[in-house]
Amino acid sequence: MPLYQPPIRDQRFVIHELLGAVDALRAMPRYAELDAATVDQILEEGGRFSEEVLLPLNRKGDEQGCAYDPSTRAVRTPDGFAAAFAQFRDAGWQGLTADAEYGGQGLPQLLQIAFDETRCAANQSWAMYSGLTMGAYECILRNGDAAQKELYLPKLASARWTGTMCLTEPHCGTDLGLLRTRAVPDPEGGFRITGEKIFISCGEHDLAENIVHLVLARLPDAPAGTHGISLFIVPKFLPAGAGAEAGCGARNGVACGGLEHKMGIHGNATCQMQLEDAKGWLLGEANKGLAAMFVMMNGARLYVGVQGLGLTEFAYQNAAAYAKDRLQGRSLSGPKAPDRPADPIVVHPDVRRMLLTARAYAEGGRALAYWVALMADAQHHHPDAAERRFGADMTALMTPIVKAFLTDNGFYCASECMQVFGGHGYIREWGVEQTLRDARINMIYEGTNTIQALDLLGRKVLLDGGARLRAFGGLVRQFVEEHGASVAMNEFVTPLADIAGKVEKLLLELGLKTVGNKDEMGAAAVDTLRVVGHLVFAYFWARMAERALARIRSDGEQVDPFYPAKLAMARFYFQRLLPETAFHIRAARSGAGNLMDFASDWF
């Protein structure tokens, strides 16, 4: 059976030592009473739930999958999923960050992200059922009227009801301007909605009393394109009564028409949803549904990035354990275990390269994702307007990077860790082939990684003249100035400053090229996101190296081995992974001609 131990030691390092998160959060009135002991308790209990409850269900969920009954249009989740969800619900985990007035605990997004990482590492398919629910909660919180909030938020926060988002249709994926689902006014109030949605995660299941679908549809007089999209609340069962005490009434006209047969995440119900004169209620303003839905979509993109992070850590842990145990051949520099018939494969340089690549991307991704969660907390709750703006800018800038860079890394590292296992990795017994299959979807859903790259380059950088990226660059410059004179930090500060300068130059060139030809942006976007992702990782790895060096100096011979290991990981990242940027910078600069000059009929 695959193993997984929540990386609590590294989580604590990132939260307490790297980010100083408790002090940062206590500056926000909402979190004024937060303390380190509470943070550590959440990490430990969340990690225990992930390891002891979710991990044992992961392989079973993959092999058994979900079952669809066409006669009832119901979906049964894999054995054990419903019991685990009941345990999750009864412990109050769903409302970890929800507002106290709606039954939540009001804790920071930072703790939600940390818990999400361990849940997704242990069992991504299961974790998705609750992950989308908090997205629906946030969307209704930001866009709903008082009655909608009073009715739906307590039930979503308690996990009595779960949530989905229904965007994609058979004829349109990313281009939502083409959607055809229609909403017509109901004389009795609300709207009647008819259409078909596909690829709807958690669209039908047996885990909760009700499912709240957030559905994009068009009103009869809506303008064409994305400007004519509205957002509606469409519950599986119509609410019986009003307010927080409302229960489930009659079945609504929304149902699952079948399950998608997928490459991975078999334990999650990915549904074809049919809306047949379903009762719905407008959420937010008419014809402004896409903007309202982006509250949920952006949260989902961060969540998917954390899925990539979790699977990277999971793949690393299992491959490292195997490499230390598996005997195969002898070290090139002479036997390292002469008393045994062969050396463990961890002695071989390329096995170490694969393992350390996964570990570097996991630890760098953890630092980035947790910092972005801290920025999201500041965006919504910091008392200083400038801090709220900075938090909003950093969250917006980093969302496509978290989503794409971390999920690209996750799939690549799952593949590398499968390679560590050799032939054993290709069979189910060790679990790494499931990790590879599960990881692949993360690069596709919630906006493909190419869409994220276009969002980063086009909307988050070029559209605002690079203001947000310059704001992040200010953090980089400040760090370089503070530590540039340190001999011990030179091996980290010098390449950090170098990649920052190269990114600035690259983006200036691309800004000029795209003025006359937008294909230049499309041709360069994916490579550019990769380069900017490495700039961000280099910044956090340099900061982690500085913290490790400080502890090594202060603790001397009594230093926790964690810190020399962290310093060695920083060196590996800067020497082995950051140089990848040279290729991507050159590719980004090569232009659109080598792509677009290839005639269509040559394909």
Residues 473 and 568 in one domain: yes
Average pLDDT over the chain, rounded to an integer: 96
446 flagged as catalytic? yes
From CA 10, how far away is CA 562, in angstroms rounded? 9
Residue 146, Cβ neighbours under 10 Å: how many? 7
pLDDT in tens, 438-470: 999 999 999 999 999 999 999 999 999 999 999
- Same domain? For 13 and 128 the reply is yes
Token digits for 360? Answer: 């570097």
CA distance 226 to 241: 34
The C-alpha atoms of residue 365 and residue 359 are separated, in whole angstroms, by 10
Are residues 111 and 187 part of one domain? no
Of 363, 446, 520, 546, which residue is the catalytic one? 446
Query: How far does Cα 140 stand from its chain's mean position?
Result: 21
pLDDT band at 174 (very low <50, low <70, confident <90, very high): confident
d(CA 218, CA 235): 18
DSSP for 506-522, please give it: HHHHHHHHHHH-THHHH
Residue 298 covered by a domain: no
Q: How far apart, in whole angstroms, are the C-alpha atoms of residue 78 and residue 68?
A: 11
The whole model's pTM is what?
Answer: 0.97
When pLDDT is cut at 50, 70 and 90, the band that residue 172 belongs to is confident
* Co-location of 136 and 167 in the same domain: no
Q: Are residues 134 and 26 in the same domain?
A: yes
The pLDDT, as a whole number, for residue 294 is 85
Q: What is the domain range of residue 33?
A: 8-66+81-141
Q: 311, 120 in Cβ contact below 8 A? A: yes
CA dist 546 and 541 (Å) reads 9
Q: Which residues neighbour 304 within 8 Å (Cβ) at sequence distance 6 or greater? A: 403, 407, 442, 445, 446
Q: Check residues 1 and 22 and name the one with the higher pLDDT.
A: 22
Is 136 in the same domain as 13? yes
- pLDDT given at position 176: 79
Q: Indicate the SS3 state at residue 89.
A: helix
Whether 513 and 576 map to the same domain: the answer is yes
Residue 486, helix vs strand vs coil: coil
Q: How far is CA 334 from the centre of its chain?
A: 43
Q: Are residues 104 and 200 in the same domain?
A: no
Same domain, 114 and 36: yes
d(CA 139, CA 546): 39
Q: Kindly state whether residue 54 falls inside one of the protein's structural domains.
A: yes
The pLDDT tens digits for 91-149 are: 999 999 999 999 999 999 999 999 999 999 999 999 999 999 999 999 999 999 999 99
How high is the pLDDT of residue 358? 98
pLDDT at 6 (0 to 100) = 98
Q: Is residue 417 part of a domain?
A: no
Is 72 within a domain? no
Of 271, 288, 305, the residue that ends a domain is: 288
Rounded Cα gap, residues 438 and 422, in angstroms: 19
Please report the DSSP string for 537-598 in residue order: HHHHHHHHHHHHHHHHHHHGGG--THHHHHHHHHHHIIIIITTHHHHHHHHHHT-SHHHHTS
To 5 degrees, how large is the angle CA 98–CA 291–CA 456?
95
16 lies in the same domain as 137: yes
Based on the domain organization, do 134 and 210 belong to the same domain? no
CA gap 283, 473 in Å, rounded: 38
CA neighbor of 540 nearest in space, from 77, 170, 5, 13 = 13
Tally the domains of the chain: 3
Distant-in-sequence, close-in-space partners of 86: CB < 8 Å, separation ≥ 6: none
CATH number, domain with residue 216: 2.40.110.20
Residues 6 or more apart in contact with residue 564 via CB below 8 angstroms: 548, 552
At residue 321, what is the residue type? A
Residue reference for tokens 């092999």? 63
Distance CA 273, CA 164 (A): 11
**Cα-based angle 433, 437, 439 (whole degrees, multiple of 5):** 110
pLDDT higher than threshold 80 for residue 1: no
CA distance 506 to 509: 5
